[in-house]
Amino acid sequence: MNLIIVGLGKMGGNIAKKLLRDNHKIIGFDSDKNQKEIIEKFGAQIIDSLNDIKSLDFSPKIVWIMLPSGEITEKTFRKLLDLLSPGDIIIDGGNSNYKITRKRFETAKEHKIHLVDCGTSGGIWGLKNGYCLTIGGEKHIYEKIMPIFNSLTPKNSNGNLYVGESGSGHYVKMIHNGIEYGMMQAIAEGIELLKNKSEYKLDLSKIVDNWKDGSVIKSWLIDLVSDELNDDKNLDKFSSYVDDSGEGRWTIQESIELGVPTPVITAALFARFRSRQADPISGKVLSAMRKGFGGHEVKNG
């Protein structure tokens, strides 16, 4: 199929490469010249401006947006509405908030343009292993462009990637990322407990490597940690600062709206917040109170 990919970074670029390998025709656009040159070497046609989409001579035009959620995706979506024709299709493969996706779906519908939301998981390993996709929107449009999704996913997915109406694909991906927060935090805390049991002089790399096979907690995340520990036993090249891209926050907001408790995911997000604080005042306040009511010793910062 002919597919225009807007955003050729780590995810978008690998999606382009994987589709090219399966004989799809890819037209790529990115504001970064280097990214465009890399994908061009793999056989993609590169355009220098989004405006060039208008002159492409095939129909319907299918445009996959692979950009960070937020303003840049919104601007690109609005721009595409002016460039595309009735019957054309936009796929949002980024981590857009599902509520915004539903509004965009209705806006696109007013222009007689179809919007499909595609939760995309697999990170930089998707090129090798295939992507886990969850797709929302009009089912007949999903079925029309299924060859694209089949080329991107593991063979055993068999095309069964459609989850429901508009917004559902991004909703499922949001919950997936919330679960990911909790799993990552549990693994990190467990390894810290191992590290701090100094009397045993535990070899973290060997222990985590052992967990990779036959263990109840074996997982891709364990595999990734094992690889890093084998390379650097103390992970000295990493800082303890942990960012978040928003999906965990949205998951917690959803839990509040639905009245569904999510204590693990919530605690995992708050742990990330704490990781970014240098000498937080809350700890100083706790020390001050302990000194005040119990005369406990205060350690100087």
Those residues whose C-beta lies under 8 Å from the C-beta of residue 264, and which sit 6 or more positions away, are 182, 185, 186
Q: What is the pLDDT of residue 299?
A: 83
Question: In the chain, where are the structural domains located?
Answer: 2-166, 173-279
Q: What is the pLDDT along the chain (301 residues), one digit of tens a residue?
A: 999 999 999 999 999 999 999 999 999 999 999 999 999 999 999 999 999 999 999 999 999 999 999 999 999 999 999 999 999 999 999 999 999 999 999 999 999 999 999 999 998 899 999 999 999 999 999 999 999 999 999 988 866 789 999 999 999 999 999 999 999 999 999 999 999 999 999 999 999 999 999 999 999 999 999 999 999 999 999 999 999 989 999 999 999 999 999 999 999 999 999 999 998 999 999 999 899 998 888 887 6
249-256, long-range: CB < 8 A, 24+ apart = 250/97, 250/174, 251/174, 251/175, 251/177, 251/178, 251/181, 252/178, 254/174, 254/175
HSE-up of 71 (CA within 13 Å, CB side)? 0
Classify domain 2-166 at the CATH topology level: Rossmann fold (3.40.50)
Judge whether 109 counts as a catalytic residue: no
CA distance 139 to 276: 42
CATH classification for the domain delimited by 173-279, as one of 1.10.472.50, 1.10.1040.10, 3.50.50.60, 1.10.10.10: 1.10.1040.10
Model pLDDT, residue 301: 64
Strands 45-46 and 62-65: unpaired
Q: Given this model, what pLDDT does residue 295 score?
A: 87
The reported pLDDT for the residue numbered 297 is 87
Catalytic residue among 180, 212, 228, 254: 180
Q: Is 192 a catalytic residue?
A: no
